[in-house]
Amino acid sequence: MKRQRGLALPMVVVLSGLCSLLLLAEWRSLAWAQALGHSAALRWQLQQSALDALRVAVEDIRLNATDSRHRMGTSTDTHAFFPHTTQEWQVLQTRLALTDCQSGICRSLGADNASFSPWVLRLAKGQSVPTELGQLLTYWVEILPTSTIPTASEQLFLYRITALAQSANNGPLSAWQAVWYPQANVPASLASPLGLNGLARLLPLVP
């Protein structure tokens, strides 16, 4: 009996230590699952913000305003703007000859590129979107002529829009790119908001 009582205490210590290890392992597993869930939720929020920025960019293009962003101004001006004629588009190319973009309005930047890395380098040249989610939201609009001599029923330009959403403190980011082609029978107003189905092409960008 004395020998059995002598073995009981070591067994209790071993079992207690094993239970502690199992409890610690389970706690770490729960913490890891919680971190993965938080990361997935953050990525989803960034994705939705970037998609919404595409809509904001289209509304910016469609806006019939008299500010410098939507009017060419005079020959002495140097600001970027959304052109309405091929002549104004040529003026925009001259103003953007030494830079890719200005305030989110860009000249053609070449062929399609599925990487968001070049856009991260252009953050200072983008157009910022106010957000209450602690995110940095930026978009750029490349203005591309549809034809050198468009017909009366043809739209002058199509727009390649890139939107990037990044969490604060240089956290993860999400980027999308779309092509928007104005329809001739749709008035250029904000009376009817644009849905994602109004975009000619939509693709996510990768690092």
In sequence order, the β-bridge partners of residue 176 are: 163, 204
| Cα–Cα distance, 40 to 190 (Å, whole number) | 33
DSSP track, 161-204: EEEEEEETTT--EEEEEEEE---TTS-SSSSSPPPGGG-SEEEE
- Residues 190/59, Cβ–Cβ less than 8 Å: yes
Q: Which residue has the tokens 């009817």?
A: 192
Q: What is the pLDDT along the chain (207 residues), one digit of tens a residue?
A: 445 555 666 777 777 777 777 777 666 765 565 555 556 777 888 999 999 999 999 999 988 889 999 999 998 999 999 999 989 999 999 999 999 999 999 999 998 899 999 999 999 999 999 887 788 999 999 999 886 555 555 678 999 999 999 987 777 899 999 999 887 655 444 555 666 667 888 899 998
The CA radius of gyration of the chain, in Å to the nearest whole number, is: 27
- Residues 119/140, Cβ–Cβ less than 8 Å: yes
pLDDT of residue 23: 72
- pTM score, two decimals? 0.78
pLDDT of residue 126: 97
